[in-house]
Structure 1
Amino acid sequence: MTTRKTTDSPTWDAYWAEVSGARTEVIRGVEVDVPRDVPFGFEERLQELSSSSAREDVEELVSMLFGPDIFGSWVDAGMGYRELLTVLTWGMAQASGTDMSFAEAFEAVAQQSAAEGKAPSGQNRAARRRPSASTGGQSKRTSGGSTVSRRAASRS
């Protein structure tokens, strides 16, 4: 077995920066490293916090993806909610190995927002009807005959 010469090989950090395409981007005046990999635990934490709008939770996700203190700098620079969603979508794509543009990330956010405002596709009114409280089944239509008030016959 032959021994490989290792004196010319770069450090791990230099190697990883080279193969992962390390670069930076300026977002709201703040230079950030473009995410090159999804941090361990990020996807699980994202699922856990998906319904939260608490500042601390959002800050935690931004810190995991872009680094500490970035969220506060963006907020101080006037970043809004939709803008933050766009940057997070872009950052997650970059971390996953997809080179998404900011315009594509904005479009994805817009489509998601539009989809959340509509009824689920493929469901008609009957499918969306709530189940009956007593049986768990769908409520039955009450016949018109049992709810119509009858006119009293006149006594002439």
Structure 2
Amino acid sequence: MTARKTGGTGGWDEFWAEVSGGRTETIRGVQVTVPTDIPLAMEQRINELQDAEDEDSFAELIALLFGTDALGAWREGGMGLRELKTVLAWGIAHANGQDMTFAEAYDLVMQEEAGGGKTPAPKGPNRAARRAQSTRTGGPSKPTSRASTGSARKTSRG
């Protein structure tokens, strides 16, 4: 088997920067790298925070996606909870490989708030994001009757 060559010989960090793009955005005066992958620790935290509403509950997710200093700087810059949810939805979408604009992330947050649900993570291949996407209404699913799901027995005429 032949090893695949990359543009540099600087090791893993240079290789990963090359394949992940390294694009940045400025959010409330903080330059952050656009996420291109979901950190491994994030799946568990998304599941644990699925019902969270307060800003502090999102602090660890923000740190995993955008760095430990981002949330503090955003607070000082006057960022609100809806704005934070929008940034988080946008970041998770990009981490899942889904290109999303800030406006699309905001629309997603507004739809969820209007529906009374939690702000979901955008759909993607990641299990944690799919779980974060599901909205809870507080009640169980309605049962489906057998009459509507059953199939009529067919008899064979031989």
With structure 2 as the length reference, what TM-score do the two structures score? 0.65
Question: Which deviations, in whole Å up to 9, do the C-alpha atoms of 1:94-150 show, x marking residues without a partner?
Answer: 111111110110111111111227xx6xxxxxx7xxxxxxxxxxxxxxxxxxxxxxx
2:52 corresponds to: 52
**Which residue of 2 is the match for residue 39 of structure 1?**
39
Aligned counterparts of 2:46 and 2:36: Cα–Cα separation in 1: 17
Letter in 2 for 1:110: M
**Unpaired runs of 5+ in structure 2?**
118-136, 143-158
Distance 2:94 2:9 in 1: 27
Change (3 A) 1:8 1:41: closer
Separation in 1, partners of 2:83, 2:103: 11
Q: What is the CA deviation profile of residues 50-83 of structure 1, one whole-angstrom value per residue up to 9, with x for unaligned ones?
A: 2234554321111111111210100100000110
Question: Secondary structure at 1:32's aligned position in 2?
Answer: strand
Distance 1:53 1:18, change over 3 A: same
Name which one, 1 or 2, has greater alpha-carbon Rg: 1
1:15 Cα deviation (Å)?
1.9
- Inter-partner Cα distance in structure 1 for 2:97 and 2:80: 26
Of residues 21-30 and 11-20 in structure 1, the stretch that sits farther from structure 2 once superposed is 11-20
Structure 1 residues not aligned, in runs of 5+ = 121-126, 128-156
Opposite residue 16 of structure 1, the aligned amino acid is W
Please tell me the root mean square deviation across aligned C-alpha atoms, in Å.
Answer: 3.0
Aligned ranges for residues 1-80 of structure 1 at < 5 Å?
9-80=9-80
Aligned residue identity for 1:67: G
How far apart, CA to CA, are the structure 2 residues paired with 1:62 and 1:5? 34
CA contact under 8 A between 2:28 and 2:79: conserved in structure 1? yes
